[in-house]
Copies of this chain bind each other. A is one copy, B any other.
Amino acid sequence: MVMNKAEKIVAKALEMFNERGIEYVSLRELATELGIRVGNITYYFPTKDDLVNRLAQDLSRLNEQIILQEPASLFSFLERFQKIFENHVQYRCLLLSFVHLMHQNKVLSEAYKETEKKRYLSIVTNLSSLQERGYLILEADRNFLVSVFSLTVRFWISEASLSFAHRSAAEQIRQYVTLLAKLLMPYATEKGQAEIRQFLVSLGH
């Protein structure tokens, strides 16, 4: 695989940031690891935030591909979260520093507002459409469920890094996707419950 300098910097930065946390990897360490000087990094990415923004953009693009598809069933609705969680693991440094980044990095927080709107709308319309197709019965609980889903999707990996760091990434994903599935159970029709059970089985339950 051919990589230009900027791509090499991005790749190594992601690797080191994931390993030790964005705030705890200095540009000088990153430069040393790459065998270049600091000023060389700042040529491609004038500030550290610019480098982080690039990573965020990459993750955003990955997730957008998943969100854009309309889920055909409750099963595929849940499956999508599994894919999103896999992306989250790949860019976990961003999610673990989420709150800080949002409060400090203007560009990122503006960009995320858009992503957030899309995600929120996507969950709302998906839940509605799943109700119309006889998978769910939601009534007044829709907004409540969207809140729980938003919270979980945003912070599952932070929680996992604190409580289940000893487990593999795959097991962590499995745990929190299971959580989302079980969350829907009380609001599912017979047909919906069957799909949730099917999904849980596909996870190895």
Contacts and interface: CB of A to CB of B under 8 A. Distances in A.
A144 B99 contact: no
A163 B99 contact: no
A92 to B, nearest CB: 11
A161 B116 contact: no
Nearest to A24: B104
B100 A100 contact: yes
Nearest to A162: B102
Interface stretch (A31-39, A48-56, A61-69, A146-154): A146-154
> Which of A100, A150, A156 has the most B CB atoms < 10 Å from its CB?
A100
Residue of A104, A116, A158, A161 with most partner-chain B CB within 10 A: A158
B116 A183 contact: no
Given A154-B159, A155-B159, A144 B100 contact: no
A186 interface: yes
A141 interface: yes
A148 B150 CA distance: 12
A97 B162 CA distance: 13
Contacts of A100: 21, 23, 97, 100
Contacts of A24: 104
Contacts of A151: 151-152, 155-156, 159
Contacts of A179: 144, 147-148
Contact of A21 (B98, B103, B154, B158): B103
A96 interface: yes
A99 B102 contact: no
Contacts of A178: 144
Interface of A: 21, 23-24, 96-100, 102-104, 116, 141, 144, 147-148, 150-152, 154-156, 158-159, 161-163, 175, 178-179, 182-183, 186-187
Given A97-B100, A100-B100, A151-B155, 17 more contacts: A23-B100, A97-B99, A98-B162, A99-B99, A99-B161, A102-B162, A103-B161, A144-B179, A147-B175, A147-B179, A148-B183, A150-B159, A151-B159, A154-B155, A154-B158, A155-B159, A186-B186
